[in-house]
Every structure is written in C-alpha cells, then in structure tokens.
Amino acid sequence: MDNQIREQYIPNSFNKDILPTESSARTWKTRDYLTIWMGSVHNIPNYLVVGGLFALGFSVMQVFSAIMLAAILLALMMVLNGHAGSTYGIPFSIYLRSSFGEKGSIIIGTLRGVIAATFWFGFQTFAGSQAMLILIGKISPSFLTLGGDFNFFGLTLAQLIAFVIFWLFNIVFIIFGVDLLNRFTNILSIFVYVIFGGMAIWAVQLAGGIAPILNHIPQIAAGNEIILFIAGITAIIASWAAPIVNVSDFTRFATSTKAQVVGQSIGLVITYLLFAFASIAIIVGSEIAYGTPIWNVLDVVAYFDNYFAILLAVFTLCLTTLSVNITGNIVPAGYQMAALFPKKLNFKSGAFIISILGLIIMPWKWMEEATSIFTLLNMIGAMLGPVAGVMLAHYFIISKKKLDILSLYTGEGIYRYYFGFNIQAFFTIILTSLPCLLGQFIPMLEAFFQMSWVVGTGSAFILYILLARLFPQKASNRIHN
C-alpha cells in the first residue's frame, strides 16, 4: 500500500508502528533471519527442557529425534504464519483481525501479546539474572553476600540487584527498537558457535569420547512411550508457541517472502541441529563425568576450571537469554499494546508497560518447583496452539492468501463478522484448548495436556476449516493488495 492510500484511507487513530511497513523499512534479508532466532534456541530454559527429557527416561537418540522433528515442524510453522507479514507488511495485531475479527483480535492479542508476554518476559528475565549473578559473583565474590539477611519476597539483595540490572538491559532494546536487534543477533551468533561448541567438546572429553555419550543408558520411561515422545516434541516447540503466532511482527520487515522462508528454514533447522549435539553432549557428558544428572546448563558451567571460560560462557548465556526475551516478548508486546491503545501508546511505551508488569508478577515465585517450566509450556501451548491452527487455516485455506488490507484497518467489510467477532474461530479455540487445559487436573485428559500444542494446533486447523465450509460467512470480492 503506497503512502497516498495510507494517508487517505487508514484512520488517524493508528500510529505508525502498526501501519503496513513501508518499502524503505523492509530491509531484513536472508542472513538476518538466519541469525535472529539463534539466541532463542541456545538459552537457559531450552537446556532445562532437554534435561527434563532425559529425566523422563529418553535415550540419546530419542532426545535427538525429538529435537530435530520439533525443529522441522517449528520452521514450517514460522515460515507459513510469517507469509502474511512478508507479503503485506502488517504486524501480528492487525493480521489477527482477518481470522478473529476487529474486536476478537483484541482478546487473542491480549492473550499472546500481554498475558503470555508478561509471564515469559518475567521468566526469561529471572533466568538471565541468575546467569548474571554468577558472572558478577566470579568477578567480585563478596557481591554474593551483599545485604546479609536482606530478603525481598524470597530474593537476596544480590539476586535482586542482578535481576534489576538484567531487566535494564532489556529496556535498552525497547529504547532503541528493532534496528538494534539485527546488529545484536549478528554479533551474538559468533559467541553462540564458539561457546556452545567449546562446551560440547569439553563435555565429550570429560565423558571419554563420543561413544560413552551415545551408549548412555537412560532410566526407564514412566508411561506410554509414544505419548511421552510426542510430549517431548511438544515441550520443545511449546516454548515457541508465542513467537509462532506473532512471527509476522518480524517478517513484515523482510525484503521478500523468499528471504524469510529461506532464512527461517535454514536458520532454525541448522541452529537446532547444533543445539541438539551441544545440549546432549553437555548434559550427558557432564552426568557421565560427575556421576549425577546436571540438567541446568548454569550448573554445568560451575564445573569449569578455567576462570576466563566461565566468564565467557556465562556472558554468552546472558546474551542468548536477552535475545529470546527481545524477540519473543518485547517486540510482540510492544506492538500489541500499541494496537490496543493506538491513541495513547506506541511500540516503546507499550513494551515498557509489559516490562513493568514482568517485575510485578515476581517471576521467581513461579520457578520454585522443578516442573514449573513444563507446566508453563503446556499451558501456553494449550492456549496458543489453537490460535496458530485457526490463523493458518483461515489464511491459506479459507482466504487463499488474499487479505483486504483496507478492511483490516477500518474494521468494515469482510472482517466485520458478528459485532467484530468471528464466532467460528472462537468456538474452535474453546473446543480445542479446553481438553488440553483440563488435562492438568483430570487424569483421563492428561495425555492432551502433555501434547497440548500438537493436539491444539492440529485439531483447531481441521475443525475451523470444517466450520467455515459448513457455515460460510459473507465475503467481499474487493481485495486491496
């Protein structure tokens, strides 16, 4: 849409952050998408997930297979749901209107861009602050005892200071916006390859070679192996449930659809291949060497005998966690808040509000149990998996990749639906997410909860198509490209 149409037809109530991306701002090339998600793969929570798979009784090959199958499925989902962004230059908050309606998109956008982003922001910020605490403690050991018996809702003074410092690093990216993100991820990719590659080599040497790692005998899996394997894939991909939904916030800056397709496909699969080798080697190798399972990558770093290696490894973990917080939480939250309150907020002010909420919820309280991460991932997967299923079904099957951009912004025309709500979409969301969520409390439905993202996405995709075919809604032949 050229500038004349933008100025003439799109209401003044929209700020520039959520208008279609202008050609001059569409600068992200294949190499940018190759690196942007790298930090989102090599981060502390992802290593906790892999460690959890071994704890469930997975063998080395089962863990490797689960990681790679999840990576392929993830790349496919990111590319497909990013198609509208790279084609039309629209952000997630506006793209949602095509499948959920103008008012309906507010509910779904709030679920992803506000609620999920707030909890994930807090979760990742606390995880990053733990790495930062180790980094500061290695430089100045006396820092760890700062404040004596001081306690802030369960945090020592040292933990609180580290948390606030890491939180402030996130604020820097809010101030400078997504332009800083590209430069940051390009530099980060070098550290990721060097550090995690080095940690993998270190772990292999500790274990006495690759053979002991490959021959590692896991504990016996408790439960149906097929369900557990699908649950493992779900746990890996569920950490991406939110970015899958709002990936158009990134693909809208692509120079072409080909750039995001090739970049995301190669970048995610190759990065996860390296992550699979590194995470398995580090977790299993350290267990063989020290005789006890070590599932937290920060605990593994503590065994390093080289001061410089410890500092560099922890520093890199801080950066990767910061990266996933920016791409997975700050960016979508900022745009969603701007869409909810277009006259009062823009990207920066909206993202800042979410960052404040991430402090208020005291995320460390949500991480006191070892199984908390799986519960959180399954809940997010149960809620956002069906959203992705509906979005893909509507865009590719019902709309056949055609969007009326003017109607998306005005709220009139084919996306008006029933008082601004696409009833079919919401009926699908409720029907497919409810069994997964109830599985946390009802033993008969526990398998649905364990496989929440896979079950929710697949069933929502099929159910929405059936409802749309059986009860077709009024459409307009007027399409504005």
User: Considering the chain, what is the average pLDDT of its residues?
Assistant: 83
For the stretch 408-436, pLDDT in tens is 888 778 888 888 899 999 999 999 999 99
Query: Looking at 28-37, 146-155, 183-192, 317-326, which range is the least confident one?
Result: 183-192
Indicate if the pLDDT at residue 230 is higher than 80. yes
Per cent of the chain over pLDDT 70 is 88
For the stretch 242-297, pLDDT in tens is 889 989 989 999 999 999 999 999 999 998 998 899 889 988 888 888 877 776 77
pLDDT mean over 337-348: 80
Indicate if the pLDDT at residue 475 is higher than 50. no
Domains of the chain as residue ranges with CATH: 32-369 (1.10.4160.10)
The residue assigned the tokens 């192996």 is 225
For the stretch 379-393, pLDDT in tens is 888 889 999 999 999
Indicate the pLDDT class of residue 481, thresholds 50, 70 and 90: very low
Indicate the pLDDT class of residue 6, thresholds 50, 70 and 90: low
Indicate if the pLDDT at residue 349 is higher than 70. yes
For the stretch 360-383, pLDDT in tens is 888 887 666 655 666 777 888 888
44-55 helix and 307-325 helix, angle to the nearest 10 degrees: 100
Please calculate the CA angle 124-128-133 and round it to the nearest 5 degrees. 145
First to last CA, the chain: 7
22 or 69, greater pLDDT? 69
pLDDT of residue 2: 47
